[in-house]
Amino acid sequence: MPYLFESERLGFRRLTQEDYLLVCSFLKDAEVMYAWEHAFSDEECHQWLDRQIGRYERDGFSLWAVIRKKDEAFLGVCGLTMQPFDGRMVPEIGYLFKRRYWHRGYAAEAAVACREYAFDVLDIDEVYSIIRDSNAASVAVAKRNGMTQVGGLVKHYYNMDMPHLVYSVRRDEVRPHIENRKS
């Protein structure tokens, strides 16, 4: 399957229902899902995958399968989803990777590629990352993506209040020499 877009080491493609077992490999891993406070059940994995596929039709984007180009290994997902922040919906870069691919720079590379896709292809001027306040690794990825903290929020999920930090970067912060296309 051809990639929607690529980075140096990674290819990005839409998820399909055939990816169910691949997404279960990280959604059912409690260590990967620590920010959610639980591993997903079979039903939650089905619902999660259905949500991603539905977003392609509704929004034109979602989380994409991240494939290592050199061997076609499925590493996890990264992409854009619309999330509530400050009374509006904002495009958020999010990702989940199988544990065996952590600490190799894949999350940062994927997040930067998704930022560039948002700016160049989707013509979005600002992207966000909404990160559980205890997730130091994802804060580091956001900073490597040129993001700075712009706020915070509390999500109520799984009968818990979960504080989150909100990071963002604007196109003109990454490319100050390029005029804003929408002005």
Buried b (16+ CB within 10 A) or exposed e, 25-60: bbbeeeebbebbeebbeeebbeebbeebbebbeeee
Give the residue-averaged pLDDT of 81-100: 95
Buried b (16+ CB within 10 A) or exposed e, 97-119: bbeebeeeebbbbbbbbbbbbbb
* Residue 94, pLDDT above cutoff 90: yes
Domain 5-174 CATH (choose: 3.40.50.300, 3.40.630.30, 3.40.1440.10, 3.40.50.2300): 3.40.630.30
List the domain boundaries for the chain: 5-174
* Contact yes or no for 64/15 (Cβ under 8 A): yes
Q: What gap in Å lies between CA 29 and CA 64, rounded to an integer? A: 19
- The predicted-structure confidence for 112-125, as pLDDT tens digits, reads as follows 999 999 999 999 99
Per-residue confidence (pLDDT) for residue 1, from 0 to 100? 60
Least confident of 6-10, 92-96, 157-161, 162-166: 157-161
Tell me the percentage of the chain whose pLDDT exceeds 70: 95
